[in-house]
Every structure is written in structure tokens, then in C-alpha cells.
Chains A and B, each alone.
Chain A
Amino acid sequence: MTALKPLAVLGAIALSTGSAAADMPQSFGILEFGPDNTLFVADSTAGAIHAYTLPADGTAPEQDAAFNLLDVDQLVADALGATGRLVYSDLAVHPVTREAYASVTATADSADVGAVVAVSRDGTARVLDLEEMPSTKFMLDAPADASVTFWRDIPAPSLTITDLDFANGELFVSGVSTGEFASTLRRVPYPFADASTSTSIEIYHAAHNQNETRAPIRAMAVVDIDGTATAVAAYTCTPLVTIPVDALEDGAHVTGKTIAELGYGNTPLDVISFQAANFQGEVSSYVLVVNREMDADLISMENLTSAAAGPGLSEPVPYLGATSGVQTVPLPLSGVVHIADQDGQFLLALRRDLDTGAMELVSFRKGSFFRLSDFISEYNFPDYAYADDEMSTGTRMFQNLLKADEGFPGQIRQ
């Protein structure tokens, strides 16, 4: 019963170019860093992934430190020389320099202006000169055969790339088709070759009564779960699913294991994995799901591992809004549009100020996952006196740490 093999797979081709001058992305989407100063840029319009080799001249910052840029729109607009509305498609952190790389499109002019903009902690923003960087390109879809024409102008169905993750020498690509309703996860080896594999994935949606779905993956991360490389994928409304990477063979139909229902009426924006040390210096791993409509969900690797080893969800959730499955900690990351693992101590986020609409580029200290300067509380009054007990001293020390992080060293209380 196998019909025509999907053209997308047969036709996937890799192109190498010495310089990208004639071959810039038509759209700037998801960003992902790879090995050897490689930056991947997803171009949904052209159905392509570009791999740029960045200059290797960056140096690491002397210490982990927070970003506190409260109006990054202006910085980016100035760097782009563009006016009007900016759409941020993704955020990634350079693995050496720890600069923020944002994929941005200015849309107010008659032609969209897209770019990758690097932003430093000190507020310096520069547009990457991608044309001058060595690059290669991988085409996800072969162009339709022009020898068959249509009754009217009909652009082919195309894949809008929803996420990229680089793990173990491969790019994992998820997307939404503008045509078919499908969940397809592709593995693209890097350096790019002519072939990729394509697997269709189904999930059990525990908000269903026994029905499954081929809904598209919205965001994902490939993580090591108990020695097995595993894609942790989030879907709209919001099942969380694990899929062992080994199952992703070309042409296979795979059923992912639904380990959580994080809640209805929500689109997950990002799934990231990161490590964080506690006050005793013990390092633990986490997966974080950042949501558009709800709290972010923090999941410890311990809980993720036991959920992935378990049977998964098989019972419907009992009512609209119910959640079930793996234990999560809700984090107050409202307004976050994109998030990335910054360094040992911080996560970095593009966050929309809900009052002013300004786009911020700010860090969140791992462990606290909030910014003290977002709040005015009794602690802010000059006459507030911290008590002398151990708990109050701990609070004072921690708040002093956050004040220093967030650029308010003058408010540190002794």
C-alpha cells in the first residue's frame, strides 16, 4: 500500500556554496547552534536550512552575567536600519561568547527585511554579515515538477519549520505543512548530505477518548534520557511526548509516548534542556516548556526519566483544563516569547512587557526563574529592616544576588 514515496524525501538535496552571496535565506526563522561555530538558520519560505560558519574569533566572557536590556526593539531596529514592526522568530545563545542571536524580520516596509542580529550584554547590536560567511544549504522539499500545471496559480504545500534541534551530529526538524495535516519529524545529518530521513509520528492525546492524532510538533528538544537520545516534543493544547531517536527511521510510522497533558488552549513556544547547580553545587538537568498562554513548565530530568520509562498516559483527562502526567513546576515566565540556555547560571529570554509592549532581552537566574526588579514589595522601602534570623538573612542575601544580576548594585542591603 505504499504509494508514491513522498517527494520531499526523494527530492531532499544538499547544496554547498563557498559564499552565500547569491543565496541568502528568503525568511529568517528558527536558529540553532551546531559544532565548529556553525549557526543553522531555518528558512521556511524557501523550505531550506542554511548552515553558516561563524568567525572563530569570539572569546568567552570572564564570568556568567545577566542581560538587562529592557528595550531591545530599538537596538535591533537601529542595527537593521529598519523602521516599523519587528517579529522575533527565535533566540539562540552563542556557545562561546554567550551573545544573544535573534532571528528578526522587520515587516513594515513593502519588502520584509530579515536578519540575524547578535546582541551583547552591553547593548551592542550588530547584523550578521551572512553573505560573507562560508555556508551550506539543505533543501527540505524538491520543487514540484513544472511539467504538470494547474487550473490556477497553486503554490505547493510547504513546511513551516517550527523547531530545530542539533544533537549527536544530526539536525532534527519539525514543521507544520501548509497543505497536509501531518506530524513529520526529519533527521538531517550534518555536514549536509543528499539524504535525510522522514518519520511520521502519532501521539495519544489524553484529552481524547482513545483517539490519537497526527498533529504537528510545535517545539522540541533532543535530550539524553537514561542513555537514550530522546526527542521531547510539545504539541498545541499541550501534550508532551517522548520519542526515542532510534525509532525515527525513514518512512516509519511511530507512535510517541504521551507523558503529560500540560493543559488545553495553549501553544508551547519553546522546549529547552539545561543544567543548573543548586546552592550545594550539585548539578541537575531539566527540561523547560515555555508556553504562550500558560505558566512555563519545569520538569526535572528525574521525573522525565521515570515518566519516559513508564507506560505513558492512556486515560483521558477528566475535564477541560485538567492536566495529568509527569510532575512539573509552574514557572512565572509570562510574556516570554523565546528562551534559551545562556550559561551556567542564567537562562536568556526575549520577553514582551505586557504594559508597554516593549521587547526585553533579559536573563533569569536558574533556580529563581524570576526577576526581582519586576516587583515592588515591602523589601523595597528604605526603612524595611531584614530580621536577623537565618531565614531573613538568606532572603536578603538572595535578593542582593538578584539585585546585582539585574543591574541594581546600589540597592544591595547589608
Chain B
Amino acid sequence: MMLRALAVVASLSGATATFASCPAPELGHVDIYPTANVLPENLLRIYVYYPRPMAFGEGFANVRLLDAEGVVVEGAFLPTREELWSPDRRRLTLLLDPGRIKTGLIASETLGPVLMVGQAYTFEVPALAVDRNDCPLGTTTTFQFTVGHADVTPPNPSEWTLNGPTAGTREPLDVGLGTAHDHLSLAFRLRVIDADGELVPGRIDLGAAEANWIFTPHLPWTARPYTLNVEETLEDLAGNRPGVLFDRPAVQSAIPWQDKLPFTPRS
């Protein structure tokens, strides 16, 4: 930490040459998930996608959560010894302290939840965040949202709507999820399987606020039946899973849910 800080100070004080060789500030924009403007009080995760591989050990120093007055919300993110980077060091997973999300937890009752219902917040990735070449991003990215009531309804695939594409076309299958879901879960925990049990190749897009899962097959749909398979680890924005709330025991309280949604393209 110390050496890193010194390196940054050094490059700020003297060597503009160091910055000159860094990517241009307009290339420093980051993407932030979730994208909805209203997020639940019990939001579990914020993901940051950086434009290039970032320095290790600086993840927490390089993000801030500000309240409506611009004051930093202290202790918002769960510190972990191993920062939760993707292998390419371009995505950082930030867990909002689960100790302050779970109902009944002492930390939750003493410190209060991180996010307060009805309040506005700004999540900020400052321009000084450094990549692994010690180059600052150069652009501050902010994401503003307000906080709605806690999401205490687990994902329920039985209530999803499937638009039903037409056989012989590559019309997208549009699945209405009803509420926002975790974008990583939507990328990896839902798959279309054909009548032979084979994975259907295709492209996944997400609707606004990650509330629609849109699948375009690489090859036209056949008129045979398909299923949309849902893994049990699918999570919504609050970490709830099908049949299981985030802060309730899965072992005792899991309720049955439908993990295969059948559909047959219209002929």
C-alpha cells in the first residue's frame, strides 16, 4: 500500500511523462451493474467493469459510495483479503456488507443498513483510480440511484413470461423476469436446451434494468419443444435464489420451484 502510494505521488509530482504515456482520459469510463435507477435496500452487489486491467490491492480505495449530501458512506463494502477481481482484472465485485443487510443482525441493528429507503446515493469511481501500469483512469464515473424497499421475494421462474418465438426464424426468446436480476447470473445461470437435451448456441442480451433475458439463437428455432433451464444458484439483486431468501436458511426453508420452463416455437 505504502509503495503504491509513493509511486502515485511520484508520478503526480514530477513525471508528467508517466501520465503522457497513459491512455487518454476519455478512455477511462467504467461500466457499473446493476443499472436500474431504483435499487433495493438489501442490494447485495455492485460490479465495476474497467476499461483495462487494474492494480491489485487498490479495489476498495478506488470506489466510493456517497449519500445525498456527498458524504462518503463508511463501511459500505465488505472488506475481503482477496479482492474479487475477474481473472482479467477488469471486473471488480463489491459486496455490500452482508452483516448490514441481513435482518436481525446486530451489525444491521447497530450500524443500520448501508442503504436507507427513499434516499439518493452516488456510486463513484474516481479519475485517480490506477490501473496496473499506475496510470489513472482520468475520468470519474458516477452512478446515481435511489433506494426502494427491500427485495424479499425470491426469483420465481413460474411467474416469468416467455414471448414464444416463431419456428424457422431467429426471433429472440424474450423472457420477462418481472424484477431486476443479477447480470452475472443472467449470463451464466440460464440456458436454452433443445429436445435432445443439447445446449442451444446463441447470444444473450438483457433488457432495461436487467429485468428481461433475451436470447437469440445462432440457428433458426425448430418447431420442436425447448426448455429454459434455471440453475439453483441464480440470484436477484439481493442475493435471493429461487425458493430461498438471502437471509433465510436454504436447508430448512427451500420451497419447490420450477427449474425447467418449457416452450415450443410457434409454427
Q: Chain A interface (Cβ within 8 Å of chain B)?
A: 1-4, 6, 26, 29, 44-47, 84-85, 87, 105, 107-108, 110-112, 144-145, 147-158, 160, 162, 176, 178-182, 200, 202, 205, 207-215, 218, 236-237, 253-255, 264-265, 267, 269, 292, 316-317, 319-320, 322, 357
Contact = CB atoms under 8 A, between A and B. Distances in A.
Contact of B82 (A145, A152, A162, A237): A162
B105 A4 contact: no
Contacts of A210: 104
B78 to A, nearest CB: 7
Contacts of A3: 229-232, 242, 259
B242 to A, nearest CB: 8
Closest 5 CB pairs of A and B: A209-B104, A147-B201, A155-B86, A3-B259, A212-B249
B4 interface: yes
A375 B130 CA distance: 39
Interface residues of B, number: 73
Contacts of A84: 3, 7
Contacts of B233: 6, 180, 182
A317 B111 CA distance: 16
Given A3-B230, A108-B4, A208-B105, A178 B57 contact: no
A148 to B, nearest CB: 6
Interface of B: 1-4, 7, 31, 44-45, 49, 55-57, 78-82, 84-88, 90-91, 93, 95, 98-99, 102-107, 110-111, 132-134, 182-185, 187-188, 191, 199, 201-206, 218, 229-233, 235, 239, 242-243, 246-251, 254, 256-257, 259
Most buried by A among B1, B81, B104, B205: B81
A68 B84 CA distance: 34
A178 B93 contact: yes
Contacts, number: 187
A337 B44 CA distance: 28
B235 A180 contact: yes
5 contacts: A107-B4, A180-B233, A213-B98, A215-B98, A319-B110
Contacts of A156: 187-188
Contacts of B251: 202, 212, 253-255
Nearest to A255: B251
Contact of B88 (A47, A147, A155): A155
B188 A157 contact: yes
B184 A148 contact: no
Given A150-B204, A357-B2, A202 B250 contact: yes
Given A108-B7, A209-B105, 19 more contacts: A1-B254, A4-B231, A108-B3, A144-B188, A151-B204, A154-B183, A157-B188, A178-B91, A178-B93, A180-B233, A202-B249, A207-B106, A208-B105, A208-B106, A211-B248, A212-B251, A213-B247, A214-B250, A236-B80
Contacts of B250: 200, 202, 214, 253
A85 B187 contact: no
Contact of B105 (A47, A207, A292): A207
A149 B88 CA distance: 17
B185 A145 contact: no
Given A3-B230, A269-B81, A87 B56 contact: yes
